[in-house]
Amino acid sequence: MEPIKVSLESLNLATLFPMLIAVGGGLTILIIDLIKESLHKSLYVMIAILFLALDLGAVIGLDINTRGFFDVMFVDGIAYLSQIIVVVASMLFIPLALTSKRFHEFSLPEFFALFLFMVAGFQFMVASDNLILIFVGLETASLALYTLIALHNREKSFEAAIKYFTMGALAAGFFAFGSALLYGLTGSVEIYKIAEVLADRSYEPMWVVLLAAAFMIAALGFKLSMVPFHTWTPDVYEGASAALAGYMSVVPKIAGFVVAMRLFEFLIHSDVTWVRDILYLAVVVTMTFANIVALVQKDVKRMLAYSSISHAGFVMAAIMIGTTQANSGLFLYWILFLFTNLGAFTMLWISRHKSQIWHDRFDHPYEKFSGLVQIMPMAATIMAIFMLSLAGVPPFSLFWGKLYIMGAAVNSGYIVLAIIMAINSAISAYYYLKLIVYMFMREPISDKQVVYFKNASLSLKTIVGISATFTILSVLFISPLLNYITEVVRVSGF
């Protein structure tokens, strides 16, 4: 037996540093808790932000298109970009723990440790083209997320966590089946090798390839809340705190999109048109169905849940189109969506109140926002801008994302798809407008004590300010951002 010699150089541990920093941060928080108990949450938040900042630094220092750690780590342009999105989004969401009201889960250091583990999980998921490592990353992140939801410690949160866990487990099963089939077909778990082998034998036997693709679509469909695998989304968002719901609508999905992009792109560009057709169908159904259901929601948070399903469908179209322009559009859209949705959910989070219950069933019924413009004109205006942005009214940020993805669709000959997207934007305008109507055109409900913004603190207001600035002034930075994204996506060959 020859001893296997592995030089440290060839491991290229730099690719692993970002995740290690996040995990190390989580462990540090746990150790601090062991040494001194009952520290204030602001300490943990700041430590988490510090480690995330280090993490971000480590990501930015990476060279694009390198492999590392026995070639299971793979840092190409989209891995690089999506890791930045994940970490920046996490840095923006974690200060939402600093509410002025006390919430149970934020007094636990475990919350912040789990949060950092989850970030590491998502980073593993995007920075690899090895199905096993993707699976490990997915499960690390998901398990942490289930717990984070349950920590909110309300009846609905447990329901949400269990629902998400059950559905997530099913999805994980699908993912494992799909991976096993692909491995059985090709003898490899690395996506680029799978693509090569399948291309060599011209995708025979076809039915196994299709079965594997079906399993993968179902697995990722759960994570990306594509219809018909979306049923958990509104309940889970409702049960989770608004801050976490906002996080869930952005970060796990970008990780899912990256995996979907890696997995489906070669299938879409091959002769297996079935994958393209089924994705086309899924995209259209997801957008349309979610939009129609969102029309009848009575609770703003549930409305936003369905809206985020619809946005995910919209963006999934970019993967289905599969050109560089479309894939760049995906990242552009999601970065813009990150800020707008962050803002919208933070506004909900700010208006959250534990004892003042507006509705026996919902936390954020539309009535709660009646006449907000007369009580808090600034807040109402900002919330309205987030809603207009989500609806795609120019010049607010998401308009540019929609414009670019619809442009990509048109440029690739998907005119009908572009028209469906346009019609869906028009449908979605209705439910976003509904909130604006409540805020601007109704009188405040006078018999309720005014409770708006009881939860506001400096850090929450800062986050809202940042989101609003990005949403309003997006036109100024779209061009450099788009150039950068396009460059990064192009070098990774998507």
Partner 1 sequence: MDHILSLLVFFPALAGMLGFIVKKENIKVYGITVATIEFVLSLILWLVFDPSNGGFQFVEFIPLIPNYGINYYLGVDGISLFIIILSTFITLVGLISLNIEKNLKNMIISLLFLEMTMVGVFVALDAVVFYIFWELSLVPMLYIIGYWGGELRVYAAIKFFLYTFFGSLIMLVGMLFLAYLYYLATGTISFAIPDWHRLILPYDYQIWLFLAFFLGMAIKVPMFPFHTWLPYAHGQAPTIGSVILAAVLLKMGTYGFVRFLLPIFPDASVALIAPIAFLSIVMVIYTAMVAYAQEDMKQVIAYSSISHMGVIVLGTFAMNVEGIAGSIFLMISHGIVSGALFMLVGNIYDRRHTKLLSEFGGLASVMPKYATIFGIVLMASVGLPLTIGFVGEFLSLMGIYKISAAYAFLGGTGIILGAAYMLRVYKLAFFGPLTNEKNKNLPDLNWKELTSLVSLVAVIIWLGVNPNPVLKPINASVESMLQLMEKKAITKEAKDIFAHNKVELEAK
What are the Cα distances from residue 72, in Å, to 7, 61, 82, 165, 264? 16, 19, 17, 27, 19
Chain centre distance of CA 353:
26
Q: Could you tell me which stretch among 121-129, 169-177, 203-211, 395-403 binds partner 1 (CB under 8 A)? A: 395-403
Among 50, 458, 479, 493, binds partner 1 (CB under 8 A): 479
404 lies in the site for partner 1, by CB under 8 A:
yes
Phi/psi at 75 (nearest 5 deg)? -105, 90
Separation of alpha carbons 475 and 461, rounded Å: 23
Of 415, 450, 458, 473, the residue at the interface with partner 1 (CB under 8 A) is 415
- Kindly state the smallest distance separating residue 340's Cβ from partner 1, in Å: 16
How remote is the C-alpha of 461 from its chain's centroid?
22
Residue placing its CB nearer to partner 1 in the complex, 152 or 434:
434
Of 20, 43, 176, 403, which one interacts with partner 1 (CB under 8 A)?
403
Cα dihedral across residues 414, 415, 419, 420: positive or negative: negative
Helix crossing, 415-441 with 273-295: angle to 10°?
20
281 near partner 1 (CB under 8 A): no
Q: How far is the CB of 208 from partner 1 (least distance, A)?
A: 38
> b vs e for 393-414, b when ≥16 Cβ sit within 10 Å of the residue's Cβ?
beebbbbbbbbbbbebbeebeb
Footprint (CB under 8 A) of partner 1, residues 431-460? 433, 436-437, 440-441
The phi, psi pair for 67, rounded to 5°, reads -115, 165
Tell me which residues in 366-385 interact with partner 1 (CB under 8 A).
Answer: 373-374, 377
422 lies in the site for partner 1, by CB under 8 A = yes
Nearer to partner 1 among residue 426 and residue 450 (C-beta): 426
Identify whether the C-beta of residue 438 lies closer than 8 Å to the C-beta of residue 392.
no
> Tokens for 113?
């440790």
Token pair of 269, please?
Answer: 């560009």
Candidates 100, 166, 231, 411; binder of partner 1 (CB under 8 A) is 411
20 binds partner 1 (CB under 8 A): no
- Which lies closer to partner 1 via its Cβ, residue 27 or residue 295? 295
* Token reading at 472: 């309003």
User: How many Cα atoms occupy the beta-carbon half-sphere of 167 within 13 Å?
Assistant: 24
| 410 binds partner 1, rule: CB under 8 A | yes
| Stretch of 200-208, 279-287, 389-397, 448-456 lying at the interface with partner 1 (CB under 8 A) | 389-397
- Minimum distance from residue 442 beta carbon to partner 1 (Å): 8
Among 29, 220, 350, 406, interactor with partner 1 by CB under 8 A: 406
Q: Does 418 bind partner 1 (CB under 8 A)?
A: yes
> Residue 32 in contact with residue 109, Cβ under 8 Å?
yes
430 interacts with partner 1 by CB under 8 A: yes
Residues in contact with partner 1 by CB under 8 A are 373-374, 377, 388, 391-395, 399-400, 403-404, 406-407, 410-411, 415, 418-419, 422-423, 425-426, 429-430, 433, 436-437, 440-441, 475, 478-479, 482-483, 486
